[in-house]
Amino acid sequence: MDKILNWGLLSTARINRALIPPLNASKRTRLLGVASREQSSADAYAREWNIPRAYGSYEALLNDPEIDVVYNPLPNHMHAEWAVNALRAGKHVLCEKPLALTLDEVDAMIAASKESGKIVAEALMYRHHPQTLKVKELVDSGALGKLQLIKGCFTFTLTREGNYRFTKEMGGGSIWDVGCYPISYARMIAGAEPLEVFGWQVEGPTGIDESFVGQMRFRDGIHMQFDCGFKSVLRTYIEIIGTEGVLNVPVPFKPGKDEKIFLTRREKTETIRIKGEPLYMGEVEDMCDAILQGGPPRVGLNDSRGNVATILALLESARSGKTIRMV
């Protein structure tokens, strides 16, 4: 029987609601505590979600020797600081995307992980879902022929005034929030980092990109086009084009328990049904595997560093109006 890993939630963030059910469902995890900046807030949240321990500060949770793993859903600009603090306190860390906002921050997290011997992984939940694994398998098998083009998008209408996503200094902007998904998806499918990128943005009144349109060029003639934004209706898709076929993924980033993808070859379209699982279960079980069995997490730190580097280059391109070479 595997050891039961005690988890702690670093804040009462909205996204916790997605992670609490798999933490309660897994046979290898126990949700032991939640921290807030005020004890009363932590107490109320712990009562609401039936969590045994409530801490009145983030430091108090990190100082609890019984907490094994910390989930970090803090605003983007706080990811690196508190992930490093947790690693130094001897905790493993599942950190929400984006992992960090600068390469120096990512490198500090990598160094803290090595020094502590603890794991830190980025919570890109879709990467663990059976649908994503099937898409990657189909592309790698040659079902589409030679890979040529990847297209994708993730937009929605953000209406919550005062939300940190509108604040540039807090890592706001659509490319950090939702553009990171099609970017990471394309890098996964290509199996490589882009050679160069180009981007345009529509800047909002607070200086963030309210919408972003980008292009990426990989080796071997593979290209990617995407858009993301806070001012359009909900749109998500991935389309993967090769010399022999096209694969359409209508729900790539938040797939459910039963999804369909569509493979078109020789003018015939095949519907492929995929029996899924609760969306966030995969990242929880992957962390358990990495901690208890010693293997690498599916989303490694070099992978996450590559995504941050790509986003930074796209933002630089949008500012400068120039193509940015990555290598």
Residues 18-27, mean pLDDT to the nearest whole number: 96
pLDDT digits over 218-249, tens only?
Answer: 999 999 999 999 999 999 999 999 999 999 99
What is residue 241's three-state secondary structure? strand
- The pair of structure tokens assigned to 272 is 């492929």
Are the CB atoms for 151 and 215 separated by under 8 Å?
no
The fold of the 127-281+308-325 domain, in CATH, is Dihydrodipicolinate Reductase; domain 2 (3.30.360)
How far apart are the C-alpha atoms of 323 and 147, rounded to whole Å? 23
What is residue 42's three-state secondary structure? helix
Query: In terms of DSSP bridges, do strands 231-242 and 147-157 run parallel, antiparallel, or are they unpaired?
Result: antiparallel
Q: Does residue 34 have a pLDDT over 80?
A: yes
Question: How large is the angle between the packed helices 180-190 and 130-140, nearest 10 degrees?
Answer: 40
Instruction: Note the pLDDT of residue 66.
Output: 98
Instruction: Note the pLDDT of residue 160.
Output: 79
Query: In terms of CATH, what superfamily is 5-123?
Result: NAD(P)-binding Rossmann-like Domain (3.40.50.720)
> 68 — phi, psi (to 5°)?
-95, -40
Residues 158-184, mean pLDDT to the nearest whole number: 92
Instruction: Note the pLDDT of residue 161.
Output: 75
> 6 — phi, psi (to 5°)?
-85, 125
Query: Which part of the chain has CATH 3.30.360.10?
Result: 127-281+308-325
Residues 201-205, mean pLDDT to the nearest whole number: 95
